[in-house]
Amino acid sequence: MVEFLRDGKLFEARSLSEEELKALDSDLRVQVLKSLSESSSYPAQLAKDFDCSKQKMYYHFEQLLEAGIIEKDYIEDKSGGEAIYYTPTKRGYVLDLGGEGDSFPVPDRNQDVKDFFKPLIQDSEMNGFVVVGSPDQHGPDQVQALDGHLAGEICFKLGNYSRKDKLVTKLDTEVVNEELFETNMVILGGVLTNVIAKRFNESFPVNFPREEFPYRQLKTPRSSFTDGEIGVIAKTSNPEIRENKIFLVAGIQSKGTKAAVKAFQDLEEIVEGYSAGQFYAVVRGLDLNSDGEIDDYKVIETSEQ
């Protein structure tokens, strides 16, 4: 088994044997394999898609099956019988010539971070989504969220630890509309701009007191912060289903949220020594190049201290 990089993400692949290489010595079989990698299908349907006879398509499927390149996915009832859907056995296949190539860095799959992400990411599978505040006025405070673009940086980090091609991002309004409160999720943004952060605010080991709009205070078991550059990364059990977990990446103001996102990208250092249970890390955003933007951070308090 080998791993390969595509668009900055790691995928598992299998090195092709001589038998498997022979099985792919057909332009049509290669096209069939590519089609199955996009979505499972069955021979009769692909015979229509590729404008060839069913007999010919069944033959090509048999060659791919015998070589172990595809496998049964599921069976579906069709008029007059059953259709067996097939899918590739791996996300990619490579020809390894055995030579020594140039080395290159691959994403660090640190064990502490893997433990921190559980069960959001389990066995490299993504089991949840990222929640961002809606850019439209919404919620009891009728505020527009302006930090949705930071979700890309969150998803990039999650992608280093999961196999999912596309990490799911949902608006907080979508989560409310679809009542998706019980799942694992990463909540981006504080209680002012993200109604899901507000819903679960008191479940986290740190929280934003609600007494006074616009809630520009962060309280931990040991401290209280009001500076806009303060951000937090936190993890706790989902009160709806305790086996699932919710994560918070937020700030007192937008600068604090940017600081928290930057810290999230460095989780290998932030969660060093983590094993299980609740966690939080409070960070202060820094503007090192004096351009008015947060470009670094400093950890000022963690639950591990």
% of the chain with per-residue pLDDT over 90: 51
Nearest to 116 by CA among 232, 271, 260: 271
Structural domain spans, the chain: 2-94, 111-302
pLDDT at 104: 47
Q: What is the rounded average pLDDT of the residues 219-233?
A: 92
Measured distance CA(41)–CA(33) in Å, rounded: 10
pLDDT at 282: 95
Q: What is the rounded average pLDDT of the residues 138-146?
A: 81
Residue 67: strand pairing partners: none
- pTM (global) more than 0.75: no
- Look up residue 240 and give its two tokens: 């709806």
The DSSP code sequence of 156-190 is HHHHTT---SS--EEEHHHHHHHT--SSEEEEES-
- Name the class of domain 2-94: mainly alpha
Q: What is the rounded average pLDDT of the residues 150-163?
A: 85
Sign of CA dihedral 72, 73, 77, 80: negative
Q: Quick: pLDDT tens for 181-221.
A: 999 999 999 888 899 999 999 999 999 987 666 778 899 99
- Look up residue 280 and give its two tokens: 């939080």
What kind and span of H or E run contains 36?
A: helix 27-38
Per-residue pLDDT band for 138 (boundaries 50, 70, 90) equals confident
2-94 against 111-302: fold identical: no
Per-residue pLDDT band for 102 (boundaries 50, 70, 90) equals low
Query: CATH 3.30.420.40: does it fit domain 111-302?
Result: no
Per-residue pLDDT band for 9 (boundaries 50, 70, 90) equals low
Nearest to 88 by CA among 141, 19, 38: 38
Q: Quick: pLDDT tens for 23-65.
A: 888 889 999 998 998 899 999 999 999 999 999 999 999 999 9
192: helix, coil or strand? coil
% of the chain with per-residue pLDDT over 70: 88
pLDDT at 245: 96
